[in-house]
Amino acid sequence: MRCRARPPPGCSAWTAVTAASWACPCSKPPNCCAPWAGSSDAFWCPMPSAHPAQAHLLPPDSGAWPGRVLLAGGTGAVGQQLLVRLATHPGVSALKVLLRRPFPLPAGAQALHTSWQDLAEHPEWFQVDTVFCALGTTIRQAGSQEAFRQVDHDHVLALARHAKAQGVRQFLVVSALGADAASRVFYNRVKGEMEQGLAAIGFESLTVAQPSLLLGERAEFRLGEHLGQWGSRLAGGLMPARYRPVHVAQVAAGLVDASQHPQRGLHVLDNIQLRKNPAP
């Protein structure tokens, strides 16, 4: 059973780590300040809150956040919304976009073509202040659970490790509502393991967006999202706010807003927070 104890006073951001590794981000294993109960194989350990005066990261050398930006997954529904916002954002001093195939980019954005296997050969790509990751697929689109995991877990963590190695301070990622490394649902479990892996890497600031079903135009048809949107219209106001669909533009807006004032440690943007952003 997984322990989900409430954070003690002075602790805010939470991350999952395995009890076997004792990879506690507060560097006080195994007796950190978090209450831990039971014989679980996983526990939740909070990163201590920063002093109020140090709650946010100091500005980058470029003068403002998000500064120099690298975007991965810019051809997807959320990624395209991020691309539009970042290309015109006054706080973005440079914008690089990782691409697997040719894709039209806004003026000023630099295309970096990669097969994901050659990331290690280009450390200069990661000489940025902020990384946005909107990588994601479906099992149907990927063709198998293994292929899905490679995109939504392996590629995300590979990107993060290369970014951390080059000194990237801020990492923002699109995950999903229900992400849980202990879930019996494969999709939720992969998303949870991805979040857990990112937390262990140790970025100064890590922001995770956890949207529900996504609204907005997609290049490919996704039956699950279509049915979910239809069901939400039937349910109307009866559906709890945390489960209601959210527009891809709202998700992108939430991430870009968070990148302007990066908080130290782990910060989660839940579906309710994301839905507060203006929708088209």
| Domain range annotation of the chain | 65-275
Other CB atoms within a 10 A radius of the CB of residue 258 amount to 21
- Give the class (CATH, top level) of 65-275: alpha beta
Q: Is 87 left (phi over 0), alpha (psi -120 to 50) or beta?
A: alpha
Is the separation of the CB atoms in 148 and 190 below 8 Å? yes
Secondary-structure breakdown of the chain: helix, strand, coil percentages, each rounded to the nearest 5: 35, 20, 45
In angstroms, the first-to-last Cα distance of the chain is 42
Closest CA to 261 of 207, 198, 203, 195: 207
**Parallel, antiparallel, or unpaired for β 246-247 and 214-215?**
parallel
Residue 31 pLDDT > 60: no
For the stretch 205-251, pLDDT in tens is 999 999 999 998 755 545 555 555 555 555 556 788 899 999 999 99
Residue 44 pLDDT > 60: no
What pLDDT was estimated at residue 3? 41
Q: pTM, whole model, 2 decimals?
A: 0.79
Provide mean pLDDT across the span 9-29.
37
